[in-house]
């Protein structure tokens, strides 16, 4: 039995999508075949509309359909902080967490020698002029080897520029048990531990980090880590 | 067909073990049936020997066969730091990470109202006299609800005693992508971010954490977090 | 942050596809955003082309872009056998197995009272005139509750019509161990066992199936089962 | 930190058990440490008791604590049928299905050239004298490559002896959809299909199998397959 060419073409196009293998593509094609014409036209139109309307924000390279993206054009966001992420989807993940009120910078990739992606293929150069107004850059690329390499590259690039640099924390996921953490992560969770209080009666030991500031709340989110000596 | 009683008994005892359901117990029993007598006697003996020889260390409640456990009797360990964990297995997980050179305190459980486990059922009271020599306590219970509740209980108990208290870090596992982190963990990873450098040209702001120590390396393990404002 | 409307629309349309949840739809949308315009247009076009070109074969209700489907219009297929399946995808699965040279009949669903699908919603009526030329109908609906119910309905409908009726075999998958088979399947695998030889010394019993054909090979695919007494 | 030797020994013995890796063994050891002495002694005793009491039935090599196993010593079982299985666990799986009332023969393994297991290492020779009373042998080794090879070996060995030989059915598991079956299994499910009725008005075709027997029930378990031509 030969498949009709337009079925073959549809399965081929669907199987180009990430995470959709040939069998899933075939299943999707048969599913689409059963749907009413309006549904197919709406999906087809949504694809074209999105391609026509959407582009990257010229400031932060997030996805937008306007001159500037919704974050960049919001004056209530903290203009002094820039969170550098790999992809537009990371912006959404962080926005959902509700923990960040600053701006973003989307690299659209990671440095990956294996895939021939060097720093010049990412939106890194456009980050530099933004440091005139920003005072802290959070390197929120992933903790994969390539995300780490990209963060290290940015750290070396930005350090001389006198900007506060930080890296998202390594550690245990919320809801995790120690015995299921890999040992590298566990080591990081220990060395990056968050101080919960300052031990007031203990005098500072020379050559060691001490935290003498008063804290108005117990929230360890805003806590301070101490070095793992 | 009826099973022989000693087969039934063996399957029943094996299925009491955690993570071993009736079907696994049956499979194990049949496997054991095929093994030579010596192997069975060695397993049976190992069970009895372990029960006879092993007990908890009277200082830290880790497992030992001696007067004191191997960590407590090692003078080269940092006597000023105590890492509080839930179970003896957590000691091993942390030892494997190689990141900790202090002492342990094993609670043998977590506070769990659901299971009727209150603080008095854990080895908490014996922790207090140890604070005479220790200056930092790392709360390394899990990040589960019960591990969190136990850490919070210990924090409130130990805070008045003038000891440095810290909590293992929440964050992304090593090798993780942002899009696979749940949003609570991602929020923690951001708020607990590790400072990579100090922004030298920026003058210290009163009432804010500042990092004035010199850093001999770039290892962010020993970094210092800044508050998420 | 608000998403651009055309991004929202695309994510919504993608998440209507089976097996694609909101998170996958978002990931797909971001992936599509990164692709060149030609790729999006080709996917969009493939959707519309497939919808325009494809329809069900008026004989067997398989998918085709012609007057008759590729199987129905192939005179070398065995016109005496009809294999009844649930969906067009099942035709492809069976074709891949290479074990069937007859014709198909695609029901486009299963009887499912839970979902309000009765026999009249399936392409059952159109099967009846096909029995003028066919002498065997293989009921190859799934072995789920609904596939079974559909097979039973067809059995009762077709039995009075003097056609040979058969049902695909239940049993162990190729490469399976008995201990991983569920007990109902194992019972079916035993009762439906395939006879490998005929016991020559045993005389034929009148009224029972006998195997008089010569067998040129040992392939039990072509074997004959014996009743489970 | 060094582990106590008796803890090391226990973890080592536990990790010899199939399906229990080093990490599970460690978890089990810590669990056992927390259990009362009586529980450990009961497990240890159950191991020794099972080893002392249990042996293989001299007839069928099933596990028993008596002169003959429970199946062999039950006169109500059908003495004419012998179901050949790989392991004692398979006997239990089949007994649970409730579909078989005959006797068993447990090979205690499969032919496996890769692992140096030839026919002489299995309880095959002892099967031959049993064929004096049995008239059907069901080869119920697994459908893995080794189970297949063992079944083929037995088929060639037993065929000249004038005994009815059958093989458990290949096919779809109960509750399965066609699209999730691998193509080899699907091909077997089709070629081994079970006849549901006999097509009364159709005259027998010479050279083809025909089913002329009346059937008192509709149960396809007891059905008859037709060759896949």
pLDDT by residue for chain A (229 residues), tens only, comes to: 788 999 999 999 999 999 999 999 999 999 999 999 999 999 999 999 999 999 999 999 999 999 999 999 999 999 999 999 999 999 999 999 999 999 999 999 999 988 999 999 999 999 999 999 999 999 999 999 999 999 999 999 999 998 999 999 999 999 999 988 999 999 999 999 999 875 444 333 333 333 333 333 333 333 333 333 3
Return the number of CB contacts < 8 Å for C and D: 307
β-sheet with D194-195: strand ranges across: C102-106, C78-85, C136-139, C164-167, D194-195, D224-225
Structure confidence at residue D1 (pLDDT): 77
Chain C residues whose beta carbon lies within 8 Å of the beta carbon of residue A30: 63, 87-89
Which residue carries 């009887």 as its tokens? Answer: C111
Return the number of CB contacts < 8 Å for B and D: 165
- Which residue positions in chain B have pLDDT lower than 70? 198-229
Chain A residues whose beta carbon lies within 8 Å of the beta carbon of residue B166: 193-196, 225-226
Its sign, for the CA torsion D128, D130, D134, D139, is: negative
Which of B46, B64, B71 is nearest residue D9 as measured by Cβ atoms?
B46
Which of B1, B24, B33 is nearest residue D71 as measured by Cβ atoms?
B1
Structure tokens at C169: 């075999």
Structure tokens at D146: 């080794």
Least Cα separation, residue B20 to chain D (angstroms):
10
Structure confidence at residue A14 (pLDDT): 97
Which residue is closest to B65 within chain D, CA to CA?
Answer: D4
β-sheet with A102-106: strand ranges across: A102-106, A78-85, A136-139, A164-167, B194-195, B224-225
Structure confidence at residue A198 (pLDDT): 58
Least Cα separation, residue D36 to chain C (angstroms):
34
How many Å apart are CA A56 and CA A107, to the nearest integer?
A: 11
Which residue is closest to D183 within chain C, CA to CA?
Answer: C97
How many Å apart are CA B221 and CA B207, to the nearest integer?
A: 25
Judged by CB atoms closer than 8 Å, whether chains meet at B223 and A221 is answered as no
Structure confidence at residue A60 (pLDDT): 97
- Kindly report the three-state secondary structure assignment for every residue of chain B: CCCCHHHHHHHHHHCCCCCCCHHHHHHHHHHHHHCCHHHHHHHHHHHHHHHHHCEECCCCCCEECCCCCCCCCCCCCEEEEEEEECCHHHHHHHHHHCCCCEEEEECCCCCEHHHCECHHHCCCHHHHHHHHCCCEEEECCCCCHHHHHHHHHHHHHHHHHCCEEEECCECECCCCCHHHCCHHHHHHHHHCCEECCCCCCCCCCCCCCCCCCCCCCCCHHHCEECCCC
To the nearest whole number, what is the mean pLDDT of chain D?
Answer: 86
Judged by CB atoms closer than 8 Å, whether chains meet at A7 and C43 is answered as no
Structure confidence at residue C212 (pLDDT): 34
Structure confidence at residue A180 (pLDDT): 87
User: Domain D5-52 is in which class?
Assistant: mainly alpha
Structure confidence at residue C198 (pLDDT): 58
Q: Interface partners of A (3+ CB pairs, < 8 Å)? A: B, C
Average pLDDT over residues D71-82: 96
Structure confidence at residue B198 (pLDDT): 58
Chain B residues whose beta carbon lies within 8 Å of the beta carbon of residue D89: 26-27, 30
Which of A159, A164, A184 is nearest residue B202 as measured by Cβ atoms?
A164
Chain C residues whose beta carbon lies within 8 Å of the beta carbon of residue A45: 44
Mutation site for B-interface testing, chosen from A139, A151, A175 by largest number of B Cβ within 10 Å? A175
How many Å apart are CA C82 and CA C139, to the nearest integer?
A: 9
Least Cα separation, residue A43 to chain C (angstroms):
6
Judged by CB atoms closer than 8 Å, whether chains meet at D179 and C85 is answered as no
Chain C residues whose beta carbon lies within 8 Å of the beta carbon of residue A16: 39, 43
Mutation site for D-interface testing, chosen from C106, C173, C224 by largest number of D Cβ within 10 Å? C173
Structure confidence at residue D154 (pLDDT): 97
Least Cα separation, residue D45 to chain C (angstroms):
27
How many Å apart are CA B130 and CA B128, to the nearest integer?
A: 5
DSSP D170: B
Q: Interface partners of C (3+ CB pairs, < 8 Å)? A: A, D
How many Å apart are CA B137 and CA B143, to the nearest integer?
A: 17
Structure confidence at residue C152 (pLDDT): 96
Judged by CB atoms closer than 8 Å, whether chains meet at B190 and A94 is answered as yes
Judged by CB atoms closer than 8 Å, whether chains meet at B224 and A225 is answered as yes
Residue B28: Cβ-neighbour burial (10 angstroms; 0-12, 13-18, 19+): buried
Which of A173, A191, A200 is nearest residue B162 as measured by Cβ atoms?
A200
Hey, which residues does C105 pair with through a beta bridge? C84
Chain A residues whose beta carbon lies within 8 Å of the beta carbon of residue B156: none
Q: Which of C152-156, D51-55, D148-152, D207-211 has the lowest mean pLDDT?
A: D207-211
Judged by CB atoms closer than 8 Å, whether chains meet at C174 and D184 is answered as yes
Alpha helices in chain D (DSSP H): 5-15, 22-34, 37-53, 88-97, 145-158, 183-191
Which of D40, D54, D95 is nearest residue B48 as measured by Cβ atoms?
D40
Q: Each residue of D110-150: pLDDT tens digit?
A: 999 889 999 999 999 999 999 999 999 999 999 999 999 99
pLDDT at D35 over 90: yes
- Which residue positions in chain C have pLDDT lower than 70? 198-229
For residues B215 and B196, the answer to whether their CB atoms sit within 8 Å is: no
Structure tokens at D143: 């459908």
How wide is the angle at C-alpha D108 spanned by C-alphas D103 and D114, nearest 5°? 140
User: Domain C63-221 is in which class?
Assistant: alpha beta
- Residues contacting B132, CB < 8 A, separation 6+: none
Judged by CB atoms closer than 8 Å, whether chains meet at D7 and B63 is answered as yes
Least Cα separation, residue A30 to chain B (angstroms):
30
- Residues contacting B129, CB < 8 A, separation 6+: none
ipTM comes to 0.80
Mutation site for A-interface testing, chosen from B79, B220, B222, B229 by largest number of A Cβ within 10 Å? B220
Q: Helices (H) and strands (E) in chain C — how many of each?
A: 6, 8
Judged by CB atoms closer than 8 Å, whether chains meet at C187 and D87 is answered as no
Which of C2, C12, C32 is nearest residue A47 as measured by Cβ atoms?
C32
Structure confidence at residue A58 (pLDDT): 97
Least Cα separation, residue B181 to chain A (angstroms):
8
Chain A residues whose beta carbon lies within 8 Å of the beta carbon of residue C31: 17-18
Segments making up each domain of chain A, as ranges: 5-52, 63-221
Closest CA to B14 of A31, D50, D8: D50
Structure confidence at residue C154 (pLDDT): 97
């Amino acid at each position: 039995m030969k498949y009709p060419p337009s079925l073959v073409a549809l399965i081929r196009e669907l199987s180009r999508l990430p995470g959709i293998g040939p069998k899933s593509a075939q299943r999707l094609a048969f599913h689409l075949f059963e749907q009413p014409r309006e549904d197919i036209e709406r999906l087809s139109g949504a694809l074209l509309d999105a391609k026509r309307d959407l582009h990257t924000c010229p400031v932060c390279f997030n996805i937008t359909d306007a001159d500037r993206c919704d974050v960049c054009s919001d004056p209530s966001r903290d203009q002094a902080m820039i969170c550098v992420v790999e992809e537009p989807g990371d912006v959404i993940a962080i926005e959902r967490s509700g923990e960040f009120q600053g701006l973003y910078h989307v690299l659209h990739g990671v440095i990956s020698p294996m895939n021939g992606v060097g720093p010049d293929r990412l939106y890194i150069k456009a980050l530099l002029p933004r440091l005139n107004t920003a005072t802290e850059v959070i390197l929120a690329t992933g903790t994969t080897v390539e995300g780490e390499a990209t963060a290290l590259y940015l750290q070396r690039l930005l350090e001389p520029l006198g900007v506060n640099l930080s890296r998202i924390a390594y550690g245990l996921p919320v809801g995790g048990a120690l015995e299921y953490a890999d040992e590298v992560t566990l080591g990081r969770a220990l060395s990056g531990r968050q101080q919960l209080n300052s031990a007031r009666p203990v005098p500072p030991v020379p050559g060691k980090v001490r935290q003498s500031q008063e804290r108005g709340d117990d929230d360890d989110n805003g806590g301070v880590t101490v070095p793992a000596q």
